[in-house]
Structure 1
Amino acid sequence: MTIETIIFYAFAAMAIGAGLLLVNIRNTARALFLFFVVLFAMAGLYLFALADFIAITQILIYVGGVLILLIFAFMLSNKELLKDIQTSSTRFISLANWQSVVLSITFLSLMVYTFVNWSQQMPGWIEQSISKGTLIQAKDNNIELLGFKFMTQYVLPFEIISIFLMMALIGAAHLSRKDNTA
């Protein structure tokens, strides 16, 4: 099994597992964190589908815009929900801490495995890029190419995303406004 396959299955398992936990959890703060995990894992899966633009859009718009808006709405809405988080278990060995330790060890072992394999042999897709001469070099002007793609081939999705981001900012400003009707 190649490292690409392992990473793909890790992203898929992360998306499915976090999605199942997301729909079954009652704590809003933890649900927002799980929503972040699902969106991030889906962006990783978009990269495997060679949809780089959609993956970047997923991270910039949904994770960077919408999720932040939801976090602001959560923080400004109900103080009782915030007290619920603060009164969680203070023991070191609680269920949430064990999940964090298992997740950290899993990611550490995946990074060590990747480092060991890549130091011995490069993945096939990098070797193919080197042989074709399409490997991106540090001296290449990628920003110019990306700007050209955004303003020609991807102009409609780029504009839709900018309008969506503007709507998220307007929503954040509306939610942070103080209501004096009481």
Structure 2
Amino acid sequence: MLFYIFAALAVLSGAYMVLTRNLLYAGFSLLVTLLSLAGIYVLLFADFVAVLQLMVYVGGVLVLILFGIMLSSRVHDKSVLSESVNKGWGIIISLLIFIGLAYTITRASFSSLAWIRTGAYADVLGYQKSTVQSIGIKLMTDFVLPFEVASLLLLIALMGAAYIATDKQNV
């Protein structure tokens, strides 16, 4: 029954978020949607994903969106345009970093690490491992490349947001 309450709350607040024209109300509706999704994760015994939902999305991304909405509503007569300079150097450096990371990841032998071998056989050895440990092992072995690519994309987005937020007249 609690699952259906959280699911209905998520769907209704998500629909309100899409249909409203007020950005601040849409941000608060996103808060209700993300909190109800965290409640669904708790009901599904996905403790790590629920805490991650609360910390990353509710605590970080939503606060950033709400601050962006509140700060951008006071900006008048200014256009937010990015001035791209030295695209060639950025592409060359990012390709070199990508090639270096891809080479390092393909040459590494993760299966020889002791903590991965003991974590992989935890069920066989008879002790209970948490979802955090199994997610950590999967992230550092099978999904290390998507994990690193996502972290680089988030870093680039953070640098772009910081650049756009600077006052270009005083720099």
Instruction: Report 1:67-146 matches (<5 A).
Output: 67-79=62-74, 146=132
CA distance in 2, matches of 1:163, 1:52: 26
Question: Does 2:13 correspond to 1:28?
Answer: no
Corresponding position of 1:12: 7
Does the aligned pair in 2 maintain the 1:61–1:161 contact within 8 Å?
no
Corresponding position of 2:137: 152
Does the aligned pair in 2 maintain the 1:66–1:168 contact within 8 Å?
no
CA deviations on 1:36-91 (whole Å, 9 max, x unpaired) are 110111121122233333222222222222212212221221228xxxxxxxxxxx
Gap change, CA 1:171 and 1:31, over 3 Å in 2: farther
Larger relative contact order (Cα-Cα within 8 Å, sequence gap ≥ 6): 1
CA distance in 2, matches of 1:25, 1:69: 20
User: Number of aligned pairs?
Assistant: 116
Structure 1, unaligned stretches of length 5 or more? 81-133, 135-141
Aligned residue identity for 1:152: I
Tell me the C-alpha RMSD between the 2 structures: 3.5
CA deviations on 1:4-59 (whole Å, 9 max, x unpaired) are x2x22221121111112111211111110001110111121122233333222222
Calculate percent identity across the aligned residue pairs: 38
Question: Does 2:38 correspond to 1:43?
Answer: yes
Out of 42, 47, 65, the residue aligned to residue 52 of structure 1 is 47
